[in-house]
Amino acid sequence: MVRHATREDLPRIYEIYENARAYMKRTGNPTQWGDTEPPIAWLDVDIERKELYVCCDGDDVYGVFMFMMRDEPFYHHPIEGAWLNDEPYGTVHRIAAHGSRGGVFDESINFCKTLIDNVRIDTHPNNKTMQHLCERSDFQKCGVLEVKRDGSTRIMYHWIRGVTGDQKK
């Protein structure tokens, strides 16, 4: 089940992000979130805006993601490529799993796809797991973004109902 995160969920959410950062380091992606991202302040804002979600089974929270259905300024100026359209979209950020059960990415993305027909996501070039999951879930790779705060890049992925890979099945 997917629901809005609450402040009471924060200890478990932060544990999930700690596990995700450790997994990223083990799999060759030590810099995307480093040792501190996402900071608690971001999570507080996400909860206040009702944009932070958890995957859970009763009280067992095993996944977390941020989903916003508003403009994402970070997405305005790709350094390579282009988004597939300029229609209203939802953006997935900071998806992470505890590791205690599989399918968190699919559960999260499928939830987002029920809310809007146009979903964007990005990931670090070293995050091979996320790249695989995006491509397996019918997102189309469409360009590259630059993170202004540190100069790193992110690969852009876009899914549009009836246009991208879901049509092929």
Helix, strand, or coil here: 81? strand
pTM of the model: 0.94
Residues in contact with 43: Cβ distance below 8 Å, sequence separation at least 6, in sequence order: 5, 10, 13, 14, 52
Which pLDDT score, from 0 to 100, does residue 149 have?
85
CA-closest candidate to residue 125, choices 105, 140, 145 = 145
The helix/strand/coil state of 146 is: strand
Does the pLDDT of residue 21 top 60, yes or no? yes
Give pLDDT tens digits for 57-116: 999 999 999 999 999 999 999 999 999 999 999 999 999 999 989 999 999 999 999 999
User: Domains (ranges, CATH) in the chain?
Assistant: 2-168 (3.40.630.30)
β-strand pairing of 90-97 with 118-123:
parallel
Residue 169: pLDDT above 80? no
| Separation CA 138–CA 142 (nearest Å) | 12
Nearest 5°: the CA angle 87, 116, 76 is 40
- Are 97 and 16 in contact by the 8 Å Cβ rule? The answer is yes
